[in-house]
Chain A
Amino acid sequence: MGDNSYAFAVARIRVREKKLLSDSDIARMAAMKDEAEVLSFLGERGWGDAESAKSAEDMLSAEEEKTWALMKELKIDPAIFEVLEYPKLFHNLKAAIKEVLTDGAHEKIFYEIEGFGREEMMRIIRDKDYRALPEFMRDTAAKAYDVMVNTRDGQRCDTIVDRGCLEAMLEKSRRMKNEMMKSYVTSQVVVSDIKIAVRSAKTGKSYAFLKEALAECDAISAEGLAQAASRGEDALFTYLQESGFSEAADAIRQSPSAFDRWCDDRLIETIRPQRMNSVSVSPVVAFYLARENEIRMARIILTAKANGFGEETIRERVRKMYV
Chain B
Amino acid sequence: MSLGMVLALTGAVLSTALAGIGSAWGVGLAGQAAAGVVAEDPDQFAKVLILQLLPGTQGIYGHLVTFITLSQIGILGGTAVSDTHTGLMYLLACLPIALVGLVSAYHQGRTSVASIGIVAKKPEQFGKAMLFPAMVETYAILALLVSILTITNIH
CA distance A5 to B116 in the complex (A): 15
CA distance A114 to B41 in the complex (A): 36
| B33 with A10: CB separation less than 8 A | yes
Q: Which residues of B contact A12 (CB under 8 A)?
A: 36-37, 39-40
* Contact code string A1-45 (vs B, CB < 8 Å = 1, else 0): 000110111111111111000000000000000000000000000
| B37 with A17: CB separation less than 8 A | no
| A14 with B121: CB separation less than 8 A | yes
| A15 with B41: CB separation less than 8 A | yes
| A278 with B117: CB separation less than 8 A | yes
Interface residues of B, count at CB 8 A:
18
CB proximity of A322 to chain B, nearest CB, Å: 13
CA distance A5 to B25 in the complex (A): 12
Considering only residues 32-57 of chain B, those with a C-beta below 8 Å from chain A are 32-37, 39-41
Q: Which residues of B contact A278 (CB under 8 A)?
A: 33, 110, 113-114, 117
For residue B120, CB closer than 8 A to chain A, the reply is yes
CA distance A16 to B120 in the complex (A): 9
For residue A225, CB closer than 8 A to chain B, the reply is no
**Interchain Cβ contacts within 8 Å, total number:** 60
Q: Which residues of B contact A144 (CB under 8 A)?
A: none
For residue B29, CB closer than 8 A to chain A, the reply is yes
Q: Which residues of B contact A279 (CB under 8 A)?
A: 29, 110, 113
CA distance A279 to B32 in the complex (A): 10
Q: Which residues of B contact A9 (CB under 8 A)?
A: 36
CA distance A316 to B30 in the complex (A): 43
CA distance A9 to B30 in the complex (A): 12
Residue of A nearest to B34 (CB): A11
Using a CB–CB distance below 8 Å, which chain B residues touch chain A? Answer: 29-30, 32-37, 39-41, 110, 113-114, 116-117, 120-121
Using a CB–CB distance below 8 Å, which chain A residues touch chain B? Answer: 4-5, 7-18, 278-279
Other than A10-B117, A14-B120, give 19 A-B pairs with Cβ distance below 8 A.
A4-B32, A4-B110, A5-B32, A7-B36, A8-B36, A8-B39, A9-B36, A11-B32, A11-B40, A12-B36, A14-B37, A14-B116, A14-B121, A16-B40, A18-B120, A278-B33, A278-B110, A279-B110, A279-B113
A-B contact pairs, 24 of them (CB 8 A): A4-B110, A5-B32, A7-B29, A7-B32, A7-B36, A8-B33, A8-B36, A8-B39, A9-B36, A10-B33, A10-B36, A11-B33, A11-B37, A11-B40, A11-B117, A11-B120, A14-B116, A14-B120, A15-B40, A17-B121, A18-B121, A278-B113, A278-B117, A279-B113
